[in-house]
Amino acid sequence: MDIHNLEEAVALTKKFTSKPSNEELLRLYSLYKQATEGDNNEERPGGFDFVAAAKYNSWLALKGKSKEEASNEYVELVKQLSSKYI
């Protein structure tokens, strides 16, 4: 795949013909959030919202990674996943 930036990678994910695994989706989510917003400074979700907690923790694990590095990793991950899901 010939994608060069975050926007192209996001557009490509919309062409996936099947859904990536939950682990792959979490990785995409956390890299996207880190690339677009930087470190996670949101409040930890409470209660029994396990999906929100998993997303929060996945993003929090990337703390300190630059937006550029996260963006590059997102693009590379989409390239890998596109061979499985397109």
Q: Which CATH class is domain 6-85?
A: mainly alpha
Q: What is the predicted pLDDT for the residue at 1?
A: 62
**Average pLDDT of the chain to the nearest whole number:** 96
Region of residue 64 (phi > 0: left; psi between -120 and 50: alpha; otherwise: beta): left
CA 65 to mean position of chain CA atoms: 13
The dihedral through the CA atoms of 28, 34, 39, 43 has a sign that is negative
Is pLDDT at 36 greater than 80 in this prediction?
yes
Give per-residue pLDDT as tens, 45-83: 988 999 999 999 999 999 999 999 999 999 999 999 999
The candidate with the shortest Cα–Cα distance to 8, out of 40, 37, 35, is 35
Q: What is the pLDDT of residue 2?
A: 80
pTM above 0.75, yes or no: yes
